[in-house]
Each structure stands twice: as C-alpha cells, then as structure tokens.
Amino acid sequence: MLIISCEMQSDVPMLANADLHIHSPYAIAVSRSMVPEHLIPACVTKGISVLGTGDALHPAWQQAWRPFLENDAGIVVVPTAEVEDQSRVHHLILAGDFSQFDELRERFAAHSRSLTSVGRPHVYLSGQAIARIVHESGALIGPAHAFTPWTAMYAYFNHVADCYGSEPIDFLELGLSADSSYGAGIPDLYTVPFLTNSDAHSPVPEKCGREFNRLRLESLTVKSVLSSIRKGAIEMNAGFFPEEGKYNRTSCVRCFSQYSQNEAVRSKWRCPNDGGIIKKGVYDRARELSTGEARPRPPYLHIVPLGQIIQTVEGASSPYTKKCRAVYDSFITTFGNEIDLLVSTPIPEIRCVHPKVADAVDALRSGRVTLHPGGGGRYGTFSY
C-alpha cells in the first residue's frame, strides 16, 4: 500500500500521491495498453496511491474498471472524466462512484452524440450548465489544463465567471505548462485549490504520474480524496518545470519559433518564417491574468520523470532503449518506486546505483538546471 506516511493512526492524516486525470483507449490517441491491468502496477512502480479512472462516462470503460476498484496493491480508484463544452473548453469531473456518472450520462444524453462512443465526449452545453448538473449529482468539477492555448478555460475566457457563470469551481487543474506561481496572482483563483495531474495517454512511467498531487487524507478512500480536494487539503503539487510544457512559450505551431508577445502582435500572430499560426504561450497568458498580489500556495516540487533523466545522462535516443530500461529497473528494484527516489532518497544512495543519475537528481532538486522552453506544441527540455 503506497502511503507516504509512517503514521497510520485514525486521528493522524496520511499523505498520498494522487494522479486524477488520465484517459482510456476509448479516447483519441491513447495507447491500447492503457487498461487497468497495466495501470495498477504502473501506479505501484511510480509511487501513486490514488488514481483517477478517466473517461468514466463511457459504459465499457466503467465495466473494465469494476474488477479493479478493490485491488491487492491498495490503489484508491476515483471515478473521473473529462468533457468538452460548447465553447471547446475542457472540464475535469471527479465523483464518488460510477452511479454518479450514470446519472450524468442520462442528463447529458440530450446534448451529446458521443457519450458512449468516445472517452472524452463533446457536450453541447455551456460550462455553467455542465457545472450545475455535475454539482446537482454531488460530484466535483473544475477546468482541465486551464491555461493551455487550446480547449482550456483561459484560452477563451478572462474570468472564471465568464465560463462558469454563477456556478463555483471546486478546483483548477494547472496543466503541464504551468505551476502554482502562474495562478497565484489571479484574484479569481485565490480560494480555489490547484491540482496537478498527468493527463496520461500511456501507462509508461514517463507519462502516468508525471504530475501528481500529495493529498492529506483521513483514510485511503474515495470519499476522503474528494473531501480533501473540497477542503484544499493539498500538501504539495509536483510536476514539470513549466518551461518543459509544450505550450509554455508563445510560438509558431509549425516551426516552433518563439516570440515575445509584442513580436507576435506586430506579426499579427503569423510566423514571419513560414506563415504558421503563432499561439500565445501559457507564460504570457498567465502574466496577463495576474492582476492581483501573489497569494501563498502549497509547495510546488519541480520534477522530471526518471526515465527522461536516464535518457539525458545516457545520451540515448529514447527512455525506452534496452540500456535505459535496465537502469530504470535497477532503481525500482533498489528503492521501490520512482517518486520516492526523485523526492526523498538520499543522493549518496542514488549514487551507489548510478552516479550520473544521482548528479542529475541533485541538480534538479537544487534548481541547478538549464531549461529550454517548449511552445507551439513541442515539449521543452532541460540540461544541467
């Protein structure tokens, strides 16, 4: 059972790592290996104790998960789904059980043609209408990857109420191109908990759990997970350096040339090099929206997936080469899971397995890295 606490008494909250946004093979561009049989052991390897199902509106995906709701690994499985509204904004929904998604499916049926055919359905309602239905079912809702320039709340709206009207949001998902500092100065979000999730389309450890939330839980149950989010009981967010995200900087979507916002405006948002569309990056968009003082947030830990670190130090073409996988497996065999290694394993112990990886982890923990920002749809990279 993967709990990040030595204290198990009922009156002492436990800490658990949670990834609440993934997808199923019923969604677009998702690995056929993204199934519970692979996801449960992937969580054990990664160090994730709480996993969202993703795509819980799809009846067949619900059925695939039912035998795994109780599992020998002790992973808490939270029913979750993502929907796209009539404005192309994506919303993440978290529920206590599948029956709530059955109710949502019935209520959305008159407004969607894809509830039983795709994992992430298009619901032809406003964000406010969707949120009201979700709240009436007892579930939670918030904008998914809120800052990204495609299919996100801040891609189309300047304020939460512009998207959700009078309905409150229960959380906001930052997305891979933003960390907590990007939303800390936005007045609309002062009381809104931030979530960091992988949005994984593959169960490989470089994708699943690449961003996670460390939650304070009263018990390892779905009810406690949702209660912690409602209360904002988030001990830590962890994920990419924002610069590693593929939409961090304002860039051409064709050649990935990067521009300042003033340069993009002068070019009328068309790349001078090849005429491609220039998309405003999350960095510039967040600065536009940050009109208030930056309020304190739980710590945000910048991490890089272990497989990517190994690939970098080995100079390999991929984290999936035979050599890289052998190094990765040796670390898991020695230390149990990836997150513990990245977050808390003493550097001298890591060095006993692989000195170069130890140096890289040490550099990452202390911020001694050089970031090469991504943008326009291409991920950023790091060196040290």
φ and ψ at 264, to 5 degrees?
Answer: -65, -40
Instruction: Report how far residue 253's alpha carbon sits from residue 379's, in angstroms, rounded to the nearest whole number.
Output: 12
The pLDDT tens digits of the residues spanning 126-138 come to: 999 999 999 999 9
Tokens of 200: 């994984």
Instruction: Report how far residue 27's alpha carbon sits from residue 31's, in angstroms, rounded to the nearest whole number.
Output: 9
Place of tokens 């202390």: 366
**Residue pair 196/173 in contact by the 8 Å Cβ criterion:** yes
| Averaged pLDDT for residues 357-372 | 94
Domains identified in the chain and CATH numbers: 14-242 (3.20.20.140), 306-369 (no CATH)
Instruction: Answer yes or no: is pLDDT of 3 > 60.
Output: no
| Averaged pLDDT for residues 348-377 | 96
Instruction: Answer yes or no: is pLDDT of 89 > 90.
Output: yes
Which pLDDT belongs to residue 8?
A: 38
The pLDDT tens digits of the residues spanning 206-256 come to: 999 999 999 999 999 999 999 999 999 999 999 999 999 999 999 999 999
Categorize the per-residue pLDDT at 10 as very low, low, confident or very high, splitting at 50, 70 and 90: very low
Instruction: Report how far residue 347's alpha carbon sits from residue 100's, in angstroms, rounded to the nearest whole number.
Output: 45
Instruction: Report how far residue 98's alpha carbon sits from residue 11's, in angstroms, rounded to the nearest whole number.
Output: 29
